Amino acid sequence: MPVTQAPPISFEDTAVAFASKSDGELRKMYALFAAMNNNALVKTGGGLMKTALKWHLPGTKFLIKKSIFEQFCGGETIQECLPVIQELGRYHIGTILDYSVEGEGDDKSFDATTTEILATIDLSHRSQHIPFSVFKVTGVGDAAILEKVQAGKALTPAEQISFEKTKKRINAICARAHQYGVRVFIDAEESWFQDTIDQLAYEMMQRYNRESAIVWNTYQLYRHDRLDAIKKAYNDAVAGGYYLGGKLVRGAYMEKEARVAAQQGRENPINPTKPATDDLYNEALRYCVQHADRISICAGTHNEASSKLLTELMQEYDIRPGDPRIWFAQLYGMSDNLSYNLAHAGYNTAKYVPYGPVASVMPYLLRRADENTAIAGQTSREFLLIQKEMNRRKAR
């Protein structure tokens, strides 16, 4: 019988999930998710938004900012995100500032992104409500060079210089994180250069994770080889005397991965079915909790069954809800029934909060929706939960 008795938790408790929302805010969410629940409207609307932004049509930015952008993004700048950070903090939910601007792919944009990530680390150091920073390696380095390195191809002198600059930017970010004791996620990306990203992440862990998990790698469990990758990373961490940080997600590039694998005539790295991914994700949770002496994890998921499983595993292995080695995370504007109920029960919980100029962030968000078939089902779930809370309030 475990010593740690976790408080009861229900992801159906909409009173807790929407406690921060006024009746007016709830009605606004209802209208937005009703629209998003219409697949045809989403596809048409996404195209119209892209076109309107491209042509700088009057009023476009204002309308987007007051609707979909406001729901899913914290603001255009770090400063604009401060009210969101404070509001989430009131409910014991942390903020992970996700700079979602895609650069031009040159040194100027890579350096600008690095400076922005360093600014999020500096703010995290000063704030009790920002437990993690996060960045994509392709935000600070050339994806084509990462791919070439993974393929074992020789780099030209210019490419070698570029790759060394990428490594210096990554080190600058991780060094600042270590200096301030701020945990930093290195996001997962496409499989054809993920091995290069993994290697860079593990080099940073060897350097900066000697006392605790500062640098965290990301594992997309829709790939059938990722649990094996976690197990190898754990063994390497034990042998190397450092701590492993792992953010566990299902994945974000499923259609693209299948398409590129077919074009290149290689095996699709994605699990054959959704249940297979769910099983692998849950197995990874079990493995990580069983090895929590060396592994810290963040369950980055909107899946209620996996989130509930992790709370049960923590209780089974006598890990208290607020143990700093285990976190839950969801996207801002979605799955409040998970985030707010988990935080209410004392679990470490955070929201990924994308930010950046509207015109720069919207293509990223729209493409993410296009690439992630799970979004459609999630918006239906959100819509039903909002309906339930509106009905509950009417019945009071």
Query: pLDDT tens per residue, the chain (396 residues)?
Result: 455 566 678 999 999 999 999 999 999 998 888 877 776 666 666 667 767 677 777 777 888 888 888 988 999 999 999 999 999 999 999 999 999 988 789 999 999 999 999 999 999 999 999 999 999 999 999 999 999 999 999 999 999 999 999 999 999 999 999 999 999 999 999 999 999 999 999 999 999 999 999 999 999 999 999 999 999 999 999 999 999 999 999 998 888 999 999 999 999 999 999 999 999 999 999 999 999 999 999 999 999 999 999 999 999 999 999 999 999 999 999 899 999 999 999 999 999 999 999 888 877 777 655 544 455 566 778 888 999 999 999 988
pLDDT at residue 45, as a whole number: 64
Question: Crossing angle for the helix pair 23-36 and 39-54, nearest 10 degrees?
Answer: 100
Could you give the count of Cα atoms lying within 13 Å of 304 in the half-sphere of its Cβ?
16
Measured between alpha carbons, how far is 124 from 119 in angstroms, rounded to an integer?
9
Q: Which amino acid is at 312?
A: E
Could you give the count of Cα atoms lying within 13 Å of 8 in the half-sphere of its Cβ?
3
pLDDT at residue 305, as a whole number: 96
Q: Among 196, 190, 214, which residue's Cα sits nearest to residue 204?
A: 214
Q: Among 120, 138, 143, which residue's Cα sits nearest to residue 130?
A: 120
Task: Specify whether the CB–CB gap between 316 and 59 falls below 8 A.
Answer: no
Contacts 24+ apart (CB under 8 A), 262-269: 264/192, 269/191, 269/223, 269/224, 269/225
Show me where the domains of the chain are located: 76-372
Instruction: Supply the DSSP string of 215-230, one letter for each residue.
Output: EEEEEETTBTTHHHHH
Q: Residue 269: helix, strand or coil by DSSP?
A: coil
pLDDT at residue 50, as a whole number: 67
Measured between alpha carbons, how far is 77 from 99 in angstroms, rounded to an integer?
9
CATH of domain 76-372: 3.20.20.220
pLDDT at residue 370, as a whole number: 55
- Residue pointed to by tokens 């000697």: 210
Measured between alpha carbons, how far is 219 from 248 in angstroms, rounded to an integer?
5
Measured between alpha carbons, how far is 40 from 31 in angstroms, rounded to an integer?
16
Classify residue 138 by its DSSP letter.
Answer: G
Within 8 A by CB and 6+ apart from 99, the residues are: 113, 116, 117, 120, 135, 139, 354, 355, 356
Strand ranges in the chain using DSSP code E only, listed in sequence order: 94-99, 132-135, 183-186, 215-220, 244-249, 295-300, 326-331, 349-355
In the chain, DSSP finds a helix count (H) and a strand count (E) of: 17, 8
- Residue pointed to by tokens 């190397």: 240
Burial class of residue 329 (count of CB atoms within 10 Å of its CB; 0-12, 13-18, 19+): buried
Measured between alpha carbons, how far is 335 from 67 in angstroms, rounded to an integer?
18
Measured between alpha carbons, how far is 138 from 158 in angstroms, rounded to an integer?
18
Q: Among 3, 6, 88, which residue's Cα sits nearest to residue 321?
A: 6
Tokens of 119: 């600014």
